[in-house]
Structure 1
Amino acid sequence: MVLVKTALTIAGTDPTGGAGIQADLKTFQERQVFGMSVLTSAVAQNTLGVQAVENMPITFIEQQLACVFNDIEPDAIKTGMISTIDMMELIATYLKKCPSIPYVMDPVMVATSGDALMETASQAVIRDLLLPLASIVTPNLPEAEILIGQKIEGLNEMERAARYIVNDLGASSVVIKGGHLEEQAIDVFYNGEQIEHFVGDRYQTKHTHGTGCTFAAAITAELAKGQDTYQAVSFAKQFITDAIRFPLGIGKGNGPTNHWGYRLKGLPTQRGDA
C-alpha cells in the first residue's frame, strides 16, 4: 500500500541549501510528500551569488529520469533550472508520456542575486516547448517579461501578461509573482477562466534566497496530494509568506527563507492535505 504521495524536482543545486533541489526537497518534506530529484546542473552558489555552473551530461540526466520513472512514478513534477535546449527536449519527452501528472514549471532564468541562469537561446525554447505542457507556470516579473517579450509595470499589465501566457502561449494556468512590485506583494493567478489576486504582506528583509523555488515546490506538493491549481497556489502563497516572515538570519548576502516558518505561527501541518 502506498502511504505517501510523491513529487519529483528536476533542477540545479545550491550547496548552501537555500535554493534549487535542496530547497525543493525541504519543502516537499515539510508538506509531507516524498521528494525525488533529478540533477540538471551543479551550481557553485551561495547567498552572495553564483560563482560557476557545471551542466550535467544529457546522457546522465536521461539515466536519472529513467531510474525515477521506471521505479517510482511521481504524483507531480516540478522543473527549475534547465540550462540547455537538449535538457528541455529530453524533459519534454517524459512529460508528454505522462500528461496526467501535474507539472509545475518554474522558469528559472535569473537568480535572486541577478545572475543569469539560462542561456539566451534557451529562453524561446522553454517558452515554446515546455510551457504548453505546464499545469501551472510560476514566473516572477522579470521572467514574465522575458516570456511575453514586453515590460510589465503594475497590476493591469500583470493581468494582461497572465492572460497572454495562458491564452496565447498555452500554459494551463499561471501565477505571476509580484515580489518585484514596489507596493504590496500581489501575485496574479489565471487559469483560462478567472483572474485572482493573492495579496501578501511585504517584509523588509534581504533573506529571500530561494523564494521562487520554495513557492513552486509548495505548489507541486499540494498538486501531488490532489489539490487543484487555485488551492495549491493559495496554500503556497501563505507558505512562502511565512518562510519570509520568519527569517533564519544566516548567510552574508541574500539569506535563505525559513522552510519551517509556517510552524512558528501555528499553521496546521495538515492544511491543504488531501
Structure 2
Amino acid sequence: MTDDAPPISRPAGAPPIALSIAGSDPSGGAGIQADLKTFSALGAYGTAAITALTAQNTRGVTGVHVVPPGFVTAQLDTLAADLRIDAIKIGMLADAAIAGAVGEFLRAQRRLERPPYIVLDPVMVATSGDRLLDEAAVDAVRDLLPLADLVTPNLPEAAVLLDVAPAGDLDGLTEQARALARTCGTAVLVKGGHGVQDATDVLAEPATGDGTDTDTGGSGGEQRVTVFEGERIETSNTHGTGCTLSSALAALRPQRDDWPTTVRDAKTWLSGALAAGDTLYVGSGSGPVHHFHEIWRRP
C-alpha cells in the first residue's frame, strides 16, 4: 500500500471500472483474460484479482495452482484503496478459504455509499457435469449469494445450489430461477444452454414492494420474471462462454437502467461473439468466442 488516500472521485460520464475476481486462463478464452476482453469491448475499464493460475488450452485443463487467500485479499484491498469500482464479476473461487476472503471484501464494498454492482457466476459444475468444487467450497459459495446483485448459474449449478435434480424443461428452469431468487434475496439468471431450451435464459428478480412486480413468461408470484429466448448458434467455439456472459453483465449494468435491459444487450452481444468465433482459428479444441467482433477491422 503506497498511502492512505481515498479512492479518486470520478466525474459523471467516465467509463465504469469493472473488476474481475477469477482464475487465469493462459489460452485467453476464459477466466480473467476473457473478462478483461469483454470489459474493453463493452466500454468498461477492466481490472482483475487472480484466484487461481491454470494450465489449460482449448482442449482442457492440465493443472491448477490456487493463489493463497491472503494474497487474494491483498490484491482486492490494494485495488479498493485506489480505485472506485463500479461493477464486480466473480468467477472461479477455487476453494472455501478464497470464497471466504472474497466474501469479506464484498461485505466491505456493500457498505460503501455507492456500492458496485456485483455479478456472481458460481463456477461449480463443468459442462460435462463434473463437480469443480468440494462440498465445503460449495457451501462457501452459497454464503456469497446474498451479497450479489445478480447470480448466473447454469442448469447444473442451479440444481446444486438448490440441492435438487436439474430442470428438464422451461417450466422447471423458471421455477428454479424463482426458487433461487427467493432463497438468496437477489436477482438470478439461470442459463438454459445445457440441453433445456438451449439459447433461453430466465431472469427472476425479487419483489420490489413498490407495486411494479410483474411476471413475463413465467407462472404467478410476487417476483419479476423475464424469459429471454434466443437462437442456438451452431459452433464449436464456446470456450469461456459463461465467463464472457457474466463479465458482459457486469460491464453493462452501470451503463443500463435495469437488469432485464442489461441481460438483453449482453445476450445480443454474446450471440455476435459466438457467431464470429469461427473467424479466429484458435486451437484445435473448443475455441474462444470473438470478444472484439464489433471492433476489429481487418486491413
* Conserved? CA contact 1:58–1:87, under 8 Å: yes
Correspondent of 2:61 among 50, 61, 74: 50
The equivalent of 2:73 in structure 1 is 62
The equivalent of 1:107 in structure 2 is 122
- Deviation larger for 8-17 or 240-249: 240-249
Looking at structure 2, the residues matched to 160 and 86 of structure 1 have their Cα atoms a distance apart, in angstroms, of 31
CA deviation after TM superposition for structure 1 residue 261, in Å? 2.9
Looking at structure 1, the residues matched to 197 and 203 of structure 2 have their Cα atoms a distance apart, in angstroms, of 18
Correspondent of 2:194 among 180, 185, 191: 180
Looking at structure 2, the residues matched to 254 and 115 of structure 1 have their Cα atoms a distance apart, in angstroms, of 17
Structure 2 unpaired stretches of 5+ = 1-9, 207-222
Looking at structure 2, the residues matched to 22 and 114 of structure 1 have their Cα atoms a distance apart, in angstroms, of 24
SS of corresponding position for 1:261: coil
Is 1:194 the counterpart of 2:224 in the alignment? yes
Deviations 1:170-209 (A, max 9, x none): 1410111111125541101110222111111112211100
Matches within 5 A, 1:150-169: 150-151=164-165, 152-168=167-183
CA deviation after TM superposition for structure 1 residue 116, in Å? 4.4
- What is the Cα-based RMSD across aligned positions, in Å? 1.7
CA deviation after TM superposition for structure 1 residue 25, in Å? 0.2
Is 1:251 the counterpart of 2:269 in the alignment? no
Matches within 5 A, 1:65-214: 65-99=76-110, 100-112=115-127, 116-127=131-142, 129-151=143-165, 152-168=167-183, 170-181=184-195, 183-192=197-206, 193-214=223-244
Q: 1:161 to 1:262 in 2, by over 3 A?
A: farther
Looking at structure 2, the residues matched to 202 and 111 of structure 1 have their Cα atoms a distance apart, in angstroms, of 20
Looking at structure 2, the residues matched to 251 and 66 of structure 1 have their Cα atoms a distance apart, in angstroms, of 36
CA deviation after TM superposition for structure 1 residue 245, in Å? 1.4
Q: Name which one, 1 or 2, has greater alpha-carbon Rg.
A: 2
Looking at structure 2, the residues matched to 120 and 209 of structure 1 have their Cα atoms a distance apart, in angstroms, of 25
- Deviation larger for 107-116 or 187-196: 107-116
Q: 1:205 to 1:182 in 2, by over 3 A?
A: farther
Deviations 1:44-77 (A, max 9, x none): 1111111111100111111101110000021011
Q: 1:171 to 1:35 in 2, by over 3 A?
A: farther
* Conserved? CA contact 1:50–1:115, under 8 Å: no
Correspondent of 2:49 among 35, 38, 46: 38
The equivalent of 1:228 in structure 2 is 258
* Conserved? CA contact 2:49–2:75, under 8 Å: yes
* Conserved? CA contact 2:170–2:196, under 8 Å: no
* Conserved? CA contact 2:41–2:295, under 8 Å: no
CA deviation after TM superposition for structure 1 residue 111, in Å? 3.9
Looking at structure 2, the residues matched to 255 and 112 of structure 1 have their Cα atoms a distance apart, in angstroms, of 15
Looking at structure 2, the residues matched to 112 and 25 of structure 1 have their Cα atoms a distance apart, in angstroms, of 23
The equivalent of 1:272 in structure 2 is none
TM-score, normalising length: structure 1: 0.90
Looking at structure 2, the residues matched to 178 and 249 of structure 1 have their Cα atoms a distance apart, in angstroms, of 27
CA deviation after TM superposition for structure 1 residue 136, in Å? 0.4
Looking at structure 1, the residues matched to 267 and 151 of structure 2 have their Cα atoms a distance apart, in angstroms, of 14
Give the share of equivalent positions with the same residue, in percent: 39
Q: 1:183 to 1:84 in 2, by over 3 A?
A: closer
* Conserved? CA contact 2:89–2:120, under 8 Å: yes
Structure 1 unpaired stretches of 5+ = 265-274
TM-score, normalising length: structure 2: 0.83
* Conserved? CA contact 2:274–2:289, under 8 Å: yes
Number of positions where the alignment pairs a residue of Structure 1 with one of Structure 2:
262
Matches within 5 A, 1:255-266: 255-262=287-294
